[in-house]
Amino acid sequence: MGALKWDKVVHHHQGWRLVTCVWLHAGVVHLLANMLSLVFIGVRLEQQFGFIRIGAVYLISGLGGSVLSSLFIRNSISVGASGALFGLLGAMLSELFTNWTIYTNKAAALFTLLVIIVINLAVGILPHVDNFAHLGGFLTGFLLGFVLLMRPQFGWIERRNLPPASQVKSKHKAYQYVLCVIALLLLIVGFIVGLVMLFRGESGNDHCHWCHYLSCVPTSRWSCGN
């Protein structure tokens, strides 16, 4: 019904499943949990940066999560907006870095955000949770934050009311432009490599033999076999 399944995407040429799976959920509880997370994370970001930019981060991060999930998980069906939500978390982190000079209480904000990210990723090591979608979405959103969520440096908006000697000459700082270019290049290369590997039928596990532990860690209480 539009869920993410490796065989359907690669052998049946149904690449659209990389997008449609983001809009499906495995039950009411799954849907409510993701929508509640979206309210807490997405509303603040959308108020600050607008619907267009945050919508782009959400959608592209969902796609990035689907691509990484398909590269490492072949025998399971995956649905849910978690990859897109983790993209918003990643964008919040990179937004903090790229706009570092305009924030107060930087250390507290960074620590709080990192704790939230680590806890949510740790939940992904449980069985039946697609942590590769989480990781792919997070990395995509992290890179997109450097590109789409740059804020003007302090004094740019009020420059017309300042004396010439105090006016800033550039809307953004040099390091913001550098981070933006590097992140954009990594994003493009990552998507190209990932999509080429996916549609050639390659498995990410063949190139990273320990990566399966990122999605499920077997214990005496559960198995990661399926």
How far the first Cα of the chain sits from its last, in Å, is 21
Write down the H helix ranges in the chain.
6-10, 17-20, 28-49, 51-72, 82-98, 106-123, 131-148, 174-199
Amino acid at 13: H
Backbone angles phi, psi at 78, to 5 degrees: -125, 135
Catalytic residue annotation: 82, 134
Its sign, for the CA torsion 124, 130, 131, 133, is negative
Cβ-based neighbour number of residue 56 at 10 Å:
15
Integer Cα distance of 133 and 180 in angstroms: 24
CB atoms near residue 158 (< 10 Å): 11
For 61, phi then psi, to 5°, come to: -65, -40
Per the DSSP assignment, residues forming a β-bridge with 78 are 4
Q: Which residues contact 172 (CB under 8 A, 6 or more apart)?
A: 150, 152, 153
Residue 57: half-sphere exposure toward Cβ, Cα within 13 Å? 32
